[in-house]
Amino acid sequence: MGLFKKQHEQVRQPHISDDNGSYMFRRSRTMTGSSSDSVRVVAGTHADLQSDRLKHHTLRKQRRHLSVYLLLILACAGVMLFLVNNFMLSTSVAHTSGIPTANASAYQQAVDSYLSAHPNERFSFSLRNGALLSALQKQYPEVGAVSVEAQPWLQPAKVTINPRIPIASWTIGSTKYFIDTNGVAFQKNYGAEPTLVVKDNTGIDPSGTAAVASERMIRYIGRLVALLKQNGQIVEKIELPPSTSRQVDVKLNGKAYVIKTNLDRDPAGQVADILQAVNYLSRKAINPSYADVRVSSKLYYR
């Protein structure tokens, strides 16, 4: 019976040693090799064998990392260049609009003082022009507008000062004031002398309550003249009659009569009543000696 028994063949099992176990070719694994003469054996303990496909993937991964690093470096360099070109280390006032050199230097010092007090605004994109203008006008009321333009490579920033343009002048005591369209009074005028002069016949002592009354009167006159000009009416003469501190007499160009206005009223509403009164008198062909519009929506004339 032993002859009919199927003899079991002995299968040789591969011997896996500790030395070459990690480099043994196994099922479902990529076979690697090398054509380099420096590799002595295929299953060498320290041989770093890579296929061409694996090398291609490795190089592509390295190129991707290098591209990311290069983009980061370029982005940082661009940000640094942007910050440097917008940083205002120093300033220089442009000598425009007839501003003397001495006054331009004073304006430059005022701008530098503001930037020193607000270092975070030394970048042109963070500068608050409104706050800078307000700080400048507190010291120099004649300044109407200011603009700062940063120069590249830390060159002095260009500061342009635009002074106020007066529309009328008024002498109070021994001091001459100029009035702009916003009703702001200032003493330094760099432009042409205004033709409109406020004639003060009130007889009020300027050393008394005239300081407060004059500031309010100046704002009123400035807005009144500007609004009338916007509506096509040019003020030829302004007079403050005697024995009153709230009446302003206005004479328009081409009109023979004087228009009496009230300081306590809003300039916009006062101008609306003046325009209606002028249109009514022209339409009715009435030529009075004066027209009184001190009361809202009322017209008195003689």
Percent of the chain with pLDDT over 90: 61
**Residue 168 tokens, joined:** 């009328």
Report how far apart, in Å, the C-alpha atoms of 269 and of each of 84, 157, 272, 275 are: 51, 44, 5, 10
CATH topology assigned to domain 168-301 = Rossmann fold (3.40.50)
Listed by start position, the domains of the chain span: 86-163, 168-301
DSSP alpha helix (H) spans, the chain: 52-85, 101-117, 129-139, 210-230, 267-283
**Residue 41 tokens, joined:** 């054996």
Q: How confident is the model at residue 296 (pLDDT cuts 50, 70, 90)?
A: very high
Q: What share of the chain is helix, strand, coil (3-state, %, to 5)?
A: 35, 20, 45
Q: How confident is the model at residue 191 (pLDDT cuts 50, 70, 90)?
A: confident
Are 299 and 277 a contacting pair, CB within 8 Å?
yes
Residue bearing the bigger pLDDT, 39 or 203: 203
Q: How confident is the model at residue 53 (pLDDT cuts 50, 70, 90)?
A: confident
Q: How confident is the model at residue 209 (pLDDT cuts 50, 70, 90)?
A: very low
Find the mean pLDDT for residues 270-281: 95
> What element of type H or E holds 207?
none
Q: What is the mean pLDDT of the chain?
A: 84
The C-alpha atoms of residue 280 and residue 299 are separated, in whole angstroms, by 10
The C-alpha atoms of residue 120 and residue 126 are separated, in whole angstroms, by 7
pLDDT digits (tens, 9 = 90+) for 128-145: 999 999 999 999 999 999
Are 301 and 270 a contacting pair, CB within 8 Å?
no
Q: Is the pLDDT assigned to residue 173 strictly greater than 90?
A: no
Instruction: Say if strands 157-163 and 91-93 run parallel, antiparallel, or are unpaired.
Output: parallel
pLDDT digits (tens, 9 = 90+) for 220-233: 999 999 999 999 99
Find the mean pLDDT for residues 177-193: 92
Give the pLDDT score at 15: 55
**Residue 136 tokens, joined:** 């400048």
Find the mean pLDDT for residues 14-20: 53
Q: How confident is the model at residue 214 (pLDDT cuts 50, 70, 90)?
A: confident
Q: What is the pTM of this model?
A: 0.72
How many CB atoms neighbour CB 219 within 10 A?
17
